Amino acid sequence: MNYRHAFHVGNHADILKHACLALVLEHLRRKATPFVVMDTHAGRGRYALDGEEATRSPEWRAGVGRLWDWAEAPPELGPLMAAIRAANEGETLAAYPGSPLQALHGMRPDDRLTACELHPEEAGALRRRLADDPRAQVHERDGFEAMGALLPPPERRGLILIDPPYEDRDLDMGRSMKALKRALVRFGYATYLWWRPLKDLREIERADAEITSGGLVKALRADLAVDRATPEGRLVASSMLVINPPYTLEAQLGALLPPLAARLALSDKAGWRVEATAGAG
Ligand SMILES: C[S@@+](CC[C@H](N)C(=O)[O-])C[C@H]1O[C@@H](n2cnc3c(N)ncnc32)[C@H](O)[C@@H]1O
C-alpha cells in the first residue's frame, strides 16, 4: 500500500467524485429520515495544500485551484464548493477536504458516517480528525470486506462511496465489482458511487454492463476528461458509476460537466459524458 491521496488531492478526479457526492447528499437531505454514508476508502480526511506531498505534486492547482475563484461557476458546483469553503477559514485556498469531511458537511445531526481506511497512518489521522464528531465512526479495515459485513445499515437509507486507489487496476476493479454485486443483493436500494480511473474505455463499459446486468439496475455514468486518455499514460480522465441515482442527477451533471471540463481542460481533448443505463428512469 504505497498510494497516498495527498499527492493527488483536489485534482480533476477528486472534483468529479466529490461533485457527484455533494449532489447526491443534497438529494438525500430532502427527506427527513436519517441516512448513512459509507466511505469504503476514506483517506485521512483533510489535506493541507501547502503540505509536503501536495507541494511536490501540485495536481490541485489544475483542479480545485481553477475553481476557487470561478465567478461564473454553474450552480450545480455550489454544494461541492460550500464543502471546500467550510474547510478553509479565509479567502485563501489552503486545504482540501477529503470524502469523509465532504460527507459530514452534507449530513445532518442524525445522519451517520462509517469510514473505512486500511492504511494505519491514514486511519489514525482520520480518527483524530473526527474524534469530536458523534456522527462519525472510523474503522481501520478493508473497505470491500466492510461492505459485506456492515450492509445493510439499520437506517436502510444511504449512499456508499467506493474509491479504491487502483495501484493494481485489475485487482481493485475486480474487488469493487465483487463487493458491489454482493452489496446490491443485501442493500439494493442504496445509492452507490463507484469511482474509476478512465484509461481504457472498453474496460469501463464491460464493468458497467456486468454491474447493471444489461440495464436491470438503474445507473448513471459520468465521465470527465481534461486531456486525451491513454491506457498507460498519466491519469487525465475518470468515470463515476452512480447506481440508483437521484432522478435529478442526470440533468444536474449534464449542466455541470460541460463548463467544468472547459474550465479544467489541459488541451482541446478535454471532454465529458453523462449516460444513463437502459434501466434508468
Ligand atoms: C483514492 S484514496 C481515497 C480518497 C478519499 N475517498 C477522498 O475522496 O478523499 C484511497 C484510499 O484507500 C486506502 N486503501 C487502500 N486499500 C484499501 C482497502 N482495501 N480498504 C480500505 N482502504 C484502503 C488508501 O490508503 C487510500 O487512503
- Is the model's pLDDT at 138 over the cut of 90? yes
Least confident segment among 137-141, 174-178, 213-217, 265-269: 213-217
When pLDDT is cut at 50, 70 and 90, the band that residue 110 belongs to is: very high
User: Ligand 1 centre and the CA of 42: distance in Å?
Assistant: 5
pLDDT tens-place string over residues 186-200:
999 999 999 999 999
The atom number, within ligand 1, closest to the CA of 39 reads 6
pLDDT at residue 280 in the model: 45
User: How far does the centroid of ligand 1 lie from the alpha carbon of residue 156, in Å?
Assistant: 24
Q: Is 268 a known active-site residue?
A: no
Q: What is the pLDDT of residues 35-79, one digit of tens each?
A: 999 999 999 999 999 888 778 778 999 999 999 999 999 999 999
| Exposure string over 145-173, b if 16+ CB within 10 A, otherwise e | ebbeebbebeeebbbbbbbbbbeebeebb
CA distances from residue 170 to 147, 207, 209, 228 in whole angstroms, order as listed? 19, 11, 17, 21
Contacts of residue 249, Cβ cutoff 8 Å, sequence gap at least 6? 20, 23, 24, 27, 220, 242
Residue among 110, 107, 113 at smallest CA distance from 83:
107
pLDDT at 194: 98
pLDDT at 179 over 50: yes
Structural contact between residues 210 and 177, judged by C-beta atoms closer than 8 angstroms: yes
Residue whose CB lies within 8 A of the most ligand 1 atoms, among 7, 118, 138, for a mutation test: 118
CA 187-189-192 angle, 5° bins: 80
Q: List, in sequence order, every residue forming a beta bridge with 273; answer none if it has no partner.
A: 223
Indicate whether 278 pLDDT > 70.
Answer: no
What digits encode the pLDDT tens for the residues 236-265?
A: 999 999 999 999 999 999 999 999 999 999
How far does the centroid of ligand 1 lie from the alpha carbon of residue 254, in Å? 28
Shortest CA distance to 17 belongs to which of 125, 85, 87, 96? 96
**Using a 6 Å CB cutoff, which residues line ligand 1?**
1, 3, 5, 14, 17, 41-43, 98-99, 116-119, 122, 142-144, 163-165
Is residue 182 over pLDDT 60?
yes
Which one of 2, 5, 116 would you pick to mutate in the ligand 1 pocket, going by the greatest count of ligand atoms within 8 A of its CB? 5
Question: Quick one: cell of 167?
Answer: 495501484
pTM: 0.96
What are the structural domains, with CATH classification, of the chain? 5-276 (3.40.50.150)
| pLDDT for 214 | 67
| Average pLDDT of the chain to the nearest whole number | 95
Q: Does pLDDT of 228 surpass 50?
A: yes
> Distance between CA 162 and CA 139 in Å, rounded?
15
- Taking the centre of ligand 1 as the mean of its atom positions, its distance from the CA of residue 1, in whole angstroms, is 10
CA angle 54/66/122 to nearest 5° reads 30
